[in-house]
A and B are shown apart, each in its own frame.
Chain A
Amino acid sequence: MSTATATATVPVSVSDTPISLRAHLRHTGALVRRNLLWIRQDPESMFDAILFPVIFTLLFVYVFGGSIGQSLGGGQQAYVQYVVPGLMAMMGMNMAQGVGTGFNTDFNSGVMDRFRSLPIGRGSVLFAKIAVELMRMLFATAVLMVVAVLVGFDITHWSGLLASVGLSAVFGSALMWVFLTLGVIMKSAQSVQAMGFLVLMPLQFGSSIFAPTDSMPGWLQSFTDYNPLSALADTARGLMLGGPVAHSLWVTLAWSVGLTAVMAPVAIHKFRTKS
């Protein structure tokens, strides 16, 4: 009977005893510690954060680098400069997808019932998950930059690098709310993964991450123009290598704020009322 889903007919009152901000931070901190201990217990769970940036950088640079680089008016080196900021944008997305599947598995274990029967703000369980995944994302980005420099990436603006990392984190956390919602409402981790794959594949490749969009057909270009991943990749490029960023920066921020504003309350509500 516990697996059946039911819709709540009576709204949960949140006014009985408000939880202070300090208590929220303490609860989130305790849950962050839990998620970090998982990594210590199972270091293999960090493999994707290490291997993903390494494999993608090497694959793209050495497989497509020569030919796409030529059309960019350079060689492989020109492509390194082009693709690395794009890969950085992609990192947040891939980490975000993992949040959904991980959270779904976690949710289906008995421990979630215990958390939800404790006098804590239920959102802190989600905040903690996002905090830890952001740490993983930053780690993966650091690995990416090391590999990138090894294959010849040349950073023009170091302050721009920091700004791009920050922006990727902002957009990544916005995406994480989307995947957390999927993780809560979908029945199995597999379906969350399949769903994530379906949504992300077109976003990922229908963007300016891997190749410039000028040679794409018009209908696709209108898609890539509004694709937040294009905006994020273009902004990262501009910030690190110089160039106009204002437009793409605003598009990225608008997407981030919009997704968070809509999906965070939805995720928390779904988490609160799931039975």
Chain B
Amino acid sequence: MTRINDNAVSVRGLVKHYGDTKALDGVDLDVREGTVMGVLGPNGAGKTTLVRILSTLLQPDAGEATVAGYDVLRQPRQLRRVIGLTGQYASVDEKLPGWENLYLIGRLLDLSRKDARARADELLERFSLTEAARRPASTYSGGMRRRLDLAASMIGRPQVLYLDEPTTGLDPRTRNEVWAEVKAMVGDGVTVLLTTQYMEEAEQLASELTVVDRGQVIANGRVEELKAKVGGRTLRVRPVDPLQVRPLAQMIDELGITGLAGTTVDAEAGSLLVPILSDEQLTAVVGAVTARGITISSITTELPSLDEVFLSLTGHRASAPQDPQPADDRQEVAV
């Protein structure tokens, strides 16, 4: 089997239809070895279908795909040996204790009893689950389950790891834990294909992004490039006196320090939204506010939501409804 090219994952013209629904409609994708590729898109964009085809759980109607040089259709077994899969829903056996879950996967991956035991101990330790090792996974919290799931994906030391919406449904604190684990795994040199609905998650974890909608790739490139296209971040400035929102907006507009779009007033929240492209612009806004002596209660930066990404890339909103960015996604900025 010849590789399409030297990428860890290479996808050409992948098509998968369910009746009239085109889950994938000619997708091309390349993931370079040792990088994290984020696949960003709303529910129903085809992200999970893509992951299932690349893990040999589903067969495409047309197109080809190789992972680590193995063809998804012709060499499924060799391919399965080099991948790790963490599904949208934690794919661990809830009735089994954490340790038994990992030992089972180790044995199924042809480790000797001794090696499977050692690997289970090692990974429980690494994912901070040693204390819960003997408890059934059904007693685990959501975050612990995802960590166990990640640990299970790592048993075979995969070359390519699929993370299918690894933090969907998790609270912000738990999500940060999972992100930290994923970052550590990336540090080990594994290639990651990450699907997500959140720009923030993509920014945190991925170096490159592919944006998909209705089974088609609508944009791809490095995260910075796409962010610049989208318009970087948004500053939310809230003066103590809500009546100062409008004068403040006028002042900032006059200074000409905003990004692509102008400022917007969020009267309901009593705050002002300022799109910015750089840290220099952030500093300039803060400086201007201070110079005018306006007392502010908070300044936060917000990442563009999936909706804003879609709006600026395609001119239309994402085709399926999705959860709004939770409020906790905002990062406090020291003023």
Residues of A participating in the B interface, judged by any CB pair closer than 8 Å = 1-2, 4, 6, 8-10, 12-13, 16-17, 19, 23, 26-27, 29-31, 33-34, 37-38, 41-42, 109-111, 113-120, 273, 275
Verify B152–A13 contact, CB threshold 8 A: no
- Docked Cα-Cα span, A42 to B94, in Å, equals 12
Tell me if B85 counts as interface (CB < 8 A to partner A).
yes
- Docked Cα-Cα span, A1 to B41, in Å, equals 14
8 contacts between A and B (CB under 8 A): A6-B59, A10-B59, A13-B73, A16-B77, A29-B107, A113-B55, A114-B91, A117-B57
Q: Which of chain A's residues have a CB closer than 8 A to the CB of B313?
A: none
Verify B48–A2 contact, CB threshold 8 A: yes
Q: Main SS of the interface on chain B?
A: loop
Verify A113–B87 contact, CB threshold 8 A: yes
* A1/B46 contact (C-beta < 8 A), A114-B91, A117-B56 known: yes
Within 59-87 of B, Cβ neighbours of A (below 8 Å) are at 59-61, 73-78, 80-81, 83, 85, 87
Q: Main SS of the interface on chain A?
A: loop
B221 to chain A, nearest CB (A): 26
Verify A114–B61 contact, CB threshold 8 A: no
Verify A34–B90 contact, CB threshold 8 A: no
Verify B59–A27 contact, CB threshold 8 A: no
Q: Which of chain A's residues have a CB closer than 8 A to the CB of B323?
A: none
Shortest Cβ distance from A42 into B: residue: B95
Verify B92–A1 contact, CB threshold 8 A: no
Q: Which of chain B's residues have a CB closer than 8 A to the CB of A116?
A: 56-57
Verify A113–B77 contact, CB threshold 8 A: no
- Docked Cα-Cα span, A2 to B93, in Å, equals 19
Q: Which of chain B's residues have a CB closer than 8 A to the CB of A4?
A: 18-19, 21
Q: Interface size class for chain B?
A: 35 or more
Q: Which of chain B's residues have a CB closer than 8 A to the CB of A117?
A: 55-57, 80, 83, 85
Q: Which of chain B's residues have a CB closer than 8 A to the CB of A10?
A: 59-60, 73
- Docked Cα-Cα span, A26 to B112, in Å, equals 10
Most A C-beta atoms less than 10 A away, residue of B49, B77, B80, B105:
B77
Verify A30–B108 contact, CB threshold 8 A: yes
- Docked Cα-Cα span, A77 to B49, in Å, equals 63
A275 partner, pick from B57, B74, B136, B156, beta carbons under 8 A:
B57
* A114/B110 contact (C-beta < 8 A), A16-B75, A16-B77, A119-B77 known: no
A30 partner, pick from B48, B55, B107, B136, beta carbons under 8 A:
B107
Shortest Cβ distance from A12 into B: residue: B76
Tell me if B288 counts as interface (CB < 8 A to partner A).
no
Q: Which of chain B's residues have a CB closer than 8 A to the CB of A17?
A: 75, 77-78
Tell me if B52 counts as interface (CB < 8 A to partner A).
yes
Verify A12–B152 contact, CB threshold 8 A: no
Verify B57–A38 contact, CB threshold 8 A: no
Q: Which of chain A's residues have a CB closer than 8 A to the CB of B44?
A: 1
A9 partner, pick from B56, B61, B90, beta carbons under 8 A:
B61
Q: Which of chain B's residues have a CB closer than 8 A to the CB of A9?
A: 59, 61
Q: Which of chain A's residues have a CB closer than 8 A to the CB of B46?
A: 1
Verify B57–A113 contact, CB threshold 8 A: yes
Within 118-140 of B, Cβ neighbours of A (below 8 Å) are at 136
Tell me if B23 counts as interface (CB < 8 A to partner A).
yes
Verify B108–A275 contact, CB threshold 8 A: no
Q: Which of chain B's residues have a CB closer than 8 A to the CB of A31?
A: 104, 108
Verify A26–B110 contact, CB threshold 8 A: yes
Verify A118–B91 contact, CB threshold 8 A: no
* A41/B87 contact (C-beta < 8 A), A16-B78, A117-B55, A120-B108 known: no
Verify B109–A119 contact, CB threshold 8 A: yes
A263 to chain B, nearest CB (A): 23
A23-B110, A117-B56, A275-B52 given; 15 more Cβ-contact pairs under 8 Å: A1-B44, A9-B59, A10-B59, A10-B73, A12-B76, A16-B75, A17-B77, A27-B108, A33-B104, A34-B100, A42-B95, A110-B91, A113-B91, A115-B108, A117-B80
B152 partner, pick from A19, A29, A41, A114, beta carbons under 8 A:
A114
- Docked Cα-Cα span, A8 to B61, in Å, equals 8
Q: Which of chain B's residues have a CB closer than 8 A to the CB of A6?
A: 16, 18, 58-59
A118 partner, pick from B49, B87, B109, beta carbons under 8 A:
B109
Q: Which of chain A's residues have a CB closer than 8 A to the CB of B92?
A: 110-111, 114
B334 to chain A, nearest CB (A): 41
Q: Which of chain B's residues have a CB closer than 8 A to the CB of A110?
A: 87, 89-92
* A38/B95 contact (C-beta < 8 A), A23-B110, A114-B87, A115-B108 known: yes
- Docked Cα-Cα span, A111 to B109, in Å, equals 15
Verify B107–A27 contact, CB threshold 8 A: yes
Verify A119–B80 contact, CB threshold 8 A: yes
Q: Which of chain B's residues have a CB closer than 8 A to the CB of A16?
A: 74-78
- Docked Cα-Cα span, A2 to B88, in Å, equals 10
Verify B95–A41 contact, CB threshold 8 A: yes
Tell me if B96 counts as interface (CB < 8 A to partner A).
yes
Verify A41–B96 contact, CB threshold 8 A: yes
- Docked Cα-Cα span, A253 to B91, in Å, equals 40
